[in-house]
Amino acid sequence: MTQRADKPDAPDTETPAGFAALGLDPRVLAALAALGYEEPTPIQSAAIPPLLAGRDVLAQAATGTGKTAAFALPLLHRLKLDAPPRERTTALVLVPTRELAMQVAEAIYRYGKSVGATSVPIYGGAAMDAQIRSLKRGADIVIATPGRALDHIRRKTVHLAGVRTVVLDEADEMLDMGFAEDLEAILAATPADKQVALFSATLAPRISAIARTHQRDPLVIRIDSEAVKAGKSAKIRQVAYIVPRAHKMLALGRILDVEQPKSAIVFCRTRTEVDDLTETLNARGYHSEALHGGLSQEQSDRVKKKLRAHTTDLLIATDVAARGLDVQHVSHVVNYDVPAAADAYVHRIGRTGRAGRTGTAITLAEPREQRMLANIERVTGQVVEIASVPTVADLKTRRLELAQASLREVILGGDLEQWTGVVVALSKEFKMTDIAAAALKQSASGSEKDEEEIPATAVRERSRPPKYGDPGTPKGTPGAPRSAPRPRATWKVAKIYVGGGKKVKIRPGDLVGAITGELGVDSGNVGAIHIFDRHSIVEVPETIVDEVIAALAATTIKGKKLQIRRDRSV
């Protein structure tokens, strides 16, 4: 059975009543309301009821569509909190990377705080002893990368006898990273009568093979995106910045300082994020207003009136609250998170560039969200420029440009007589250029902020976006030859020696999966891979080579500890 769900204009949120209609535990609903979630996404509406009923689910949904909550909320609803520690684990969530394991654990903590749920993320590159202690204390939900999950299963430090649900999140990504054998071993170690929920961006044959082997009559859910006509945003400059989550707020402030928007809307996923961002921006000297479903009609109308009257610089809003907002003069739209679907993206950025004007659409994407950007390009047939976050030097240069422009306006405006006496007096002691420079320096005092550099993030190599309806992207590394050169961005190469090769059946996917899974970096940070009989050579950026070596040395590859060091033949 296949269930299809079309996306509405808002990708994430309405009122708590929307979630209540799905049959969730009142304590979980209360947590969602407190977090500011307003409306279930299509994948949440489609997947939560059958998962609550105990049905297996096979869901095709891209990253960022709200699928974490789609499987996390039913897991929390069905917990057995009175079980002893060894029997307490009722759910196992398998994810491809350390970063995603931490994100899922954080989400489950936030959703399940009122229920008293305990979740433990286990992944390579972290101390095994600490993870074992956490598991001994008891964990309702274990979130794991495949390699580390197998390590714990072999050590008998994770107990799966009570597991009722296994979730495979981003299953296609795990297969691309060479985890197929690990997944089979893990699923075989869990109870035969378990519920299996499989989430994947594609339903390729290898995904269907897992479903046939490990699922029972699964409900197939496909979240379709409506095709968007090319040229719909032709007058809008579209740019994205790849920024780690920890630096997004700093990056946004710096981008706004450089762009100097006349009027801008910043879109967020939840009302809590809207409130937090509004407070932070106002503390930094911006004049911003919040707009979300938690406001009364009177408050909402007042905020919209301010935007129309040009009395506020920034509107920070959720999609739901911004529906029906018709403002002609918006110069910039900012996606603080990558929109869940291409049609939602187009709907958002269509609020700028109106009435024949040009506009700018800015998107802040975390490294793992680059696939979502690629999907937006594919569906819209338009290119989203990838730009570097402004550096401290860029910011200072921009401030000097603005100061120069401001001084020109003051000079052209005249009425300077009351200040010329001070200049004449100082000119007897100092050069005129020094006097002017000192005045400029004094006027700029207090504007020096955000002097911390934001670390550069590797960008996946990209080609032109295929038009909507083009054939799918090529398959991942596991099918590549054993001396497969992988495409890489232009970075300085460092080579790593791995003490294992064909003799121990190492494949390129094993090495890619180990690096991306343990270090949490994008696969674009892995270059050429050469596998010989007894060793392998992997190319990575020089800037992260030491971190990669440390991460690989702390984990196992093909179940073995291998020698990891810089390649001495370089």
Of 190, 224, 258, which one is at a domain's C-terminal end? 224
Let me know whether 277 and 135 are in one domain.
no
Please check whether residues 149 and 15 belong to one and the same domain.
Answer: yes
How many Cβ atoms are within 10 Å of 542's Cβ, its own excluded?
12
What residues pair up with 165 in beta bridges, in sequence order? 91, 195
Is residue 189 located within the same domain as residue 258?
no
Cβ-proximal residues to 487 (8 Å cutoff; 6+ apart), any chain: 461
Single out the residue of 263, 246, 257 nearest to residue 316, CA to CA: 263
The DSSP symbol for 477 reads: G
At residue 479, the 3 state secondary structure works out as helix
Measured between alpha carbons, how far is 312 from 335 in angstroms, rounded to an integer?
18
Question: Is residue 43 within 8 Å of 61, Cβ to Cβ?
Answer: yes
Could you say which DSSP state residue 142 is in? E
**What pLDDT was estimated at residue 543?**
81
Q: Report in angstroms the alpha-carbon separations of 77 from 74, 117, 472.
A: 5, 10, 37
* Residues 109, 175 share a domain: yes
CA dihedral 44, 50, 56, 58 (to 10 degrees): -40
**Rounded distance between C-alpha atoms, residue 441 and residue 197, angstroms:** 61
Label residue 250 left, alpha or beta by phi (over 0 means left) and psi (-120 to 50 means alpha).
Answer: alpha
Sheet order of strands, 57-60 included? 2-6, 219-224, 57-60, 195-200, 165-168, 91-94, 141-144, 119-122
Residues 248 and 180 in one domain: no
Please give the Cα distance from 148 to 191 (Å, whole number). Answer: 19
The answer to whether position 396 is within a domain reads no
Residue 113, domain member (yes or no): yes
| CA-closest candidate to residue 490, choices 463, 522, 515, 458 | 458
211 shares its domain with 241:
no
Position 433 in a domain: no
Residues 9 and 95 in one domain: yes
- Rounded CA separation 513/511 (Å): 5
Whole-Å CA distances, 1 to 44, 72, 128, 170, 213: 18, 23, 42, 21, 17
What are the tokens at 163?
């597991």
For 256-271, the DSSP string reads HHHH--SSEEEEESSH
- Residue 261 gets the label, from left (phi > 0), alpha (psi -120 to 50) or beta, of beta
State the CB neighbour count (10 A cutoff) for residue 153.
19
pTM of the model: 0.51
Contact predicate 496/525, CB 8 Å: no
CA–CA distances in Å: residue 32 to residues 82, 116, 270, 326, 438? 23, 15, 10, 29, 54
Reduced to 3 states (helix: H, G, I; strand: E, B; else coil), residue 370 is helix
Is residue 314 situated within a structural domain?
yes
Q: Say whether both 217 and 241 belong to one domain.
A: no
Q: What are phi and psi of 515, to 5 degrees?
A: -70, -50
> Three-state secondary structure along 71-98?
HHHHHHHCCCCCCCHHHCCCEEEECCCH
Q: Which domain holds residue 6?
A: 2-224
Q: What SS3 string covers 496-561? A: EEECCCHHHCCCHHHHHHHHHHHHCCCHHHCCCEEECCCCEEEEEEHHHHHHHHHHHHCCCECCEC
- Asked if 133 and 173 sit in the same domain, the reply is yes
Torsion of CA 105, 109, 112, 117, to 10 degrees: 80
**What CATH number did the domain enclosing 308 receive?**
3.40.50.300
Residue 100: its H or E element: helix 98-112
Tell me how many helices (H) and strands (E) the chain has.
21, 19
Cα–Cα distance, 531 to 538 (Å, whole number): 9
The CA-based dihedral angle spanning residues 353, 354, 357, 360, taken in that order and rounded to the nearest 10 degrees: -10
Largest CA distance in the chain: 92
Using the 3D structure, point to which of 158, 189, 224 is the last residue of a domain: 224
The H or E element spanning position 289 is: strand 288-291
Where residue 485 sits, what CATH number does that domain have? 3.30.70.330
H runs (alpha helix) in 139-204: 146-155, 171-176, 180-188
Alpha helices per DSSP H over 359-391: 370-380
- Go through 219-232 and write b for each residue having 16 or more CB atoms within 10 A of its CB, e for each that does not: bbbebebeebeeee
Q: Looking at the domain assignment, is residue 167 inside a domain? A: yes
Look up residue 490 and give its amino acid: T
259 and 197 in a common domain: no
Cα separation, 37 vs 52, in Å, equals 20
Please report the pLDDT score of residue 250 as a whole number. 86
Residue 468 pLDDT: 37
Domain count, the chain: 3
Q: 68: Cβ–Cβ under 8 A, 6 or more apart, which residues?
A: 103, 104, 107, 169
Q: Which of 343, 369, 387 corresponds to the end of one domain?
A: 387
Spatial separation of the C-alpha atoms in residues 124 and 144, rounded to whole Å: 9
- The answer to whether the beta carbons of residues 58 and 211 sit under 8 Å apart is yes
Concatenating the DSSP letter of every residue in 290-357 gives EE-TTS-HHHHHHHHHHHHTT--SEEEEEHHHHTT---TT--EEEESS--SSHHHHHHHHTTSS-TT-
**Is the residue at 448 inside a domain?**
no
CA-based nearest residue to 143, from 167, 168, 121: 121
User: Is 420 contained in some domain?
Assistant: no
Is residue 543 assigned to a domain?
yes
- 172 & 281 share domain: no
User: Do 206 and 250 reside in the same domain of the chain?
Assistant: no
Q: What is the pLDDT of residue 226?
A: 44
pLDDT at 466: 43
Q: What is the mean pLDDT of each run of 10 residues along the chain (570 residues)?
A: 46 55 89 80 92 94 78 90 72 88 88 88 86 90 93 92 94 84 93 94 85 93 58 70 87 86 89 88 85 83 82 84 70 88 80 75 88 82 85 75 73 77 84 81 57 66 45 34 42 87 83 75 75 87 85 81 81
